[in-house]
Amino acid sequence: MLVDAGLVGLALLDAWLSNAHATSSALTLSVIAALALTIRRRHPFAVFALTVPALFSGYVLIAPLTALYTVAAATRNRWPTAVCGALAGLGYLLPWPFDGADLVGLFGDPLGLIYATVFAGGPVALGLLARTRRELSDRFDELTAGQERERELLSRTVLAEERTRLAREMHDVVSHQVSLIAVQAGALSTTTSDGQVREAADTIRRLSVQTLTELRQMVGVLRSSAEQAPELAPQPRISDIPRLIRNSGQDAALDIRRTAGRSWPDAVERAAYRTVQEALTNAGKHAGGAQVTVTVAPSGPDLCVTVRNAPPPGARSYSGPAGGGHGLVGLRERAEQLGGAFRAERTADGGFTVKAVFPGEPDSGSVGSTGLPPEAPSARPAR
C-alpha cells in the first residue's frame, strides 16, 4: 500500500511538472493516468490503456512506465506485453500532435530509436524479472513442502517397519512363554489329586490357549504383509555383540564384562544388539576411521547401552547430517515400546554418542519392566 501510494504521488507530481503550462486536456489526462495507478494490480491492461493518452499528449513518464512494468509482471503471455511495450516506445518517440511531423525522419533516427527502446524495454525487463523471481520463489516453496512431505512419509515408513518387526519379535517371545504356561498347567492338571488345583490348572491352560489364538490372529496380518523373515534362525543377543563388532571392520573397543552371569528379557537383549548395530553403521558411514567405544553394562536392574565415536580423522567435528536419521528414529521407537529411554547427540569434541537404557529385572530370564529411569533423559536424535 505504501509503495502504491508513493507511486501515485510521484505520478501526480510528474503530471503537474510536465503539464503546468500545457493545455487543460493534457493535464487532465495526466492526472487520470496517475490516479489509475491505484488499481494497477487488479486491472493492469486497463490502467496501461488509460496512461497511453497521457504519454502521447502530456509527455508524463512515471504513470506509463509503472503501468508497463505491472503488465509485464502480471501476465505470462508475451504478445500483450510486446504490444504494450511498442505503444510505450511510440509514445516516447512520436510528437503530439502528429500534424506536420516528419515520421520518416523520426524512424530513421538511430539515437531516437535507441532511447525509445530503452524507455519501453526497461520496465518490461524489470517486470519479467519480478515475475520470474516470484515464480521461482513459489516453485522453491513447493519443492520444500514436497521434500518435507517425503521426509515425513519416509519417517512414518521406517516407524511402521520397526513396529512390525518389533511386533513379530514380541509375538515370538510372548507365544513361547504362554505356551510354556499352558504346558505346565496341563501337566499340573494331570498330576495333582486336588480337585480345586486341577480345576484352576485347567482354567489356566484354557485361557493360555485362547490367548495364544487371539495373539496369532492379531499379529497374523503383520506377518503376511511384512517380509518373510527366517523365524527358525536364532535371534541376536548380547553375547553376539562381540562377533558383530569383529565383523564390522571398525576400530571399536567393547566393554561388556559386567554383563557376565546376567540375563535380561529376550526383547531387551535384541534391542541392545540392534542399538549397537545401528550405531556402528552410522559411525562407519559418517565418521569412518574414528575410534568407537561400545559399553554394555547393567544399571541396577536395567541394561544401559552406550556407543560413542570420536570425530573422524582430519575433521573438526562429526560430519553426519543434522536431519534425517531414520535408523535412530526406529531405535527410539523400539526403546520407548519397551519402556526404556533413548538419547543420540553430538559431543563437545565433535564426536557422537548413542545411549539407550532398557528396563529389566535383577533375576535372570523373567520378562518385566521397571519403567523409565530418572537419570536417563530422552532427547531427539541429532542425526
pLDDT tens per residue across all 383 residues of the chain: 777 778 778 878 877 777 766 667 777 888 888 888 888 888 888 888 888 888 877 678 888 888 888 888 888 888 888 888 888 887 777 766 656 555 555 566 777 778 778 878 888 888 889 888 988 998 999 999 888 888 888 888 887 777 777 776 766 667 667 777 877 888 888 888 888 888 888 888 888 877 777 676 666 555 555 444 444 456 788 888 998 888 877 788 999 888 888 888 888 888 999 899 888 888 887 887 788 999 999 988 899 999 999 888 765 555 554 444 567 887 888 888 888 999 999 988 888 999 999 987 543 333 333 333 333 333 334 34
Rounded distance between C-alpha atoms, residue 112 and residue 116, angstroms: 6
Q: Provide the residue ranges of all domains of the chain, joining segments of one domain with +.
A: 1-101, 155-225, 238-313+326-358
Which residue type does 231 have? Answer: E
User: pTM for this structure?
Assistant: 0.42
The CATH code for residues 238-313+326-358 is 3.30.565.10
Write out the H or E segment, with its range, that includes residue 97: none
Whether residue 381 contacts residue 344, with contact meaning beta carbons closer than 8 Å, is answered with: yes
DSSP 3-state assignment of 354?
strand
Q: Give the pLDDT of residue 168.
A: 67
The residues, any chain, with a CB within 8 Å of residue 204's CB and separated by 6 or more, are 181, 182, 185
In the block, cell 558383530 appears at 244
263 φ, ψ (degrees, to nearest 5): -145, 155
Rounded distance between C-alpha atoms, residue 205 and residue 186, angstroms: 6
Q: Kindly provide the b/e burial profile for residues 98-132, where b requires at least 16 CB atoms within 10 angstroms of the residue's own CB.
A: eeeeeeeeeeeeeeeeeebeebbeebbeebbeebe
Grid cell, residue 334, equals 523400539
DSSP 3-state assignment of 340?
coil
In the block, cell 510528437 appears at 95
Residue 280: other Cβ atoms inside 10 A: 23
Query: Is beta strand 252-255 parallel, antiparallel or unpaired with respect to 352-358?
Result: unpaired
DSSP 3-state assignment of 200?
helix
Strand order, beta sheet including 252-255: 252-255, 292-299, 302-309, 352-358, 341-346
